[in-house]
Amino acid sequence: MRSGLPCELVFCDMEMPRMNGMELLEKMSNDPRLSELPIAMLTSRTAEKMKRRAGELGAKGYFTKPYLEEVLLDAAQRMLAGENLMASNTSAEPAPAS
């Protein structure tokens, strides 16, 4: 992404080799070139503590596995439109669009 790969939104798994999702989220949040890019976490971790930490680091969404494809697609559209799904509700999944 730093080299110019066109990207408008990132869905990041929490469990990755070499760097976990929280580390990536923190690095992107601290990079002026990447900090405005909406990032959503995708994980099997349902603990509220993990979701809260992701929100503190700048995540705009937090989704737990298993997930529904239509939920992710709807959330992607909403985040691309500037919505912060973390700020609008307290459950791990975003509320359906009205």
Per-residue pLDDT tens digits for 16-36: 888 899 999 999 999 988 889
Q: Is the pTM here over 0.85, yes or no?
A: no
Please check whether residue 5 lies inside any domain of the structure. no
- Structural domain for 70, as ranges: 10-86
Please check whether residue 54 lies inside any domain of the structure. yes
Instruction: Give the helix ranges, DSSP H, for the chain.
Output: 21-29, 48-56, 69-80, 85-88
Residues 43-54: tens digit of each pLDDT: 998 889 999 999
Please check whether residue 18 lies inside any domain of the structure. yes
* CATH at residue 68: 3.40.50.2300
Confidence of residue 12 (pLDDT cuts 50, 70, 90): very high
- Count up the domains in the chain and report the number: 1
Please check whether residue 1 lies inside any domain of the structure. no
Range in 11-20, 46-55, 59-68, 85-94 the model is least confident about? 85-94
Match 């999702």 to its residue by tokens. Answer: 21
Please check whether residue 57 lies inside any domain of the structure. yes
